[in-house]
Amino acid sequence: MTNPTRNMMLVLVVLSIAFCAFVGISVYRTRRDVTAALNEFKELATSRNPTASFESLQRKYGSKLRPNEACNQHHCQYEMSLSNENISELRVVMPYTEMNFWFTVDEGSLQWALLEYRTALRGPHSPVVHVQEGMCAHGCGVRFDLNPHGSTQEMWNGIVEFDTRATPQQRDAALALNLDCLARIGGCKDIIDLLPTMWTHSGPGTISSRLIGLSQRLEESHGLPSPDDF
C-alpha cells in the first residue's frame, strides 16, 4: 500500500470517527433535553399548583418558551419546540422528529398544557400524537379520552385528553412517549411507535387502543356522558 493511499485511508478513518462522535453527542443532547422537558410536563399533571410550576418553567427556559403574538392581559398561550434537527440535517437516515409544547394561561392561571410529538417521513403519511392535559382543579375538558379507539386502520394521527380526575394509570400511559423515535434509523412509522402504551397492532394494517376512553365507552353503551365526565 502506497503512502498516499495509506494517508487517505487514515484521513477517512479519522473523519468517520469524528462523524460518529458528533452524531452520538447530538443524540445524547437531544434526548437529554427532550427527556427533561417531558418530565416537567408530566410533573404539571400532579402538581398541587400547576400555575406556580409553569412560572418556574418560564424562568428556566426564558425566551425558548415563547408567548403567542395574540397574548393580552387576560389570556396567553406559550410555545416551546425541541427536535433532532441537528441529527436529521446530516441525512443519516434519521428523519426529522420534534416535540412541541403549548401552555394556555387564562386570567393568570394555567388552564391547559398540550404536547405534539411527530416524525416527518418521506411518503404520504407521517405519524403525529397530541396529548392534552386540563389543569383546572374542578376538571377541564374530559376525565380521559383517546382517538382513535377500538379497532381501526387510522394509524397516523392520535389524540389523548385527560384532566386532573384521570387515574394514575391513564395519566402515566398518556405520557409514556417513546423517545427512541428521536434517533431511530428510518424513523417511527405510526402512532404505536410514538406512544406504544396507548395503541397496539391488532392485525395487518390494523391497530387497537389499549385503554378505554369516554368516546369508546359511549359508543359501546349507546349511552350519554355523565356530568362527571366533563
The pLDDT value given to residue 146: 95
The pLDDT value given to residue 3: 67
Stated pTM of the model:
0.86
The pLDDT value given to residue 43: 93
The pLDDT value given to residue 52: 95
Structural domains of the chain, count:
1
Strand 128-134 to strand 199-203: parallel, antiparallel, or no bridges (unpaired)?
A: unpaired
At 214, the amino acid letter reads L
CA nearest 127: which of 184, 178, 194?
194
Residue carrying C-alpha cell 404539571? 44
In sequence order, which residues have a C-beta less than 8 Å from that of residue 70 and are 6 or more positions away? Answer: 77
Give average pLDDT by consecutive 10-residue segment, the chain, 230 residues. Answer: 66 60 72 94 91 95 93 94 80 82 94 96 91 82 90 92 93 96 90 96 90 86 58
What is the Cα 47 distance to its own chain's centre?
A: 20
Domain residue limits at 133: 3-229
Q: Residue 174 in 3-state DSSP?
A: helix
The pLDDT value given to residue 112: 94
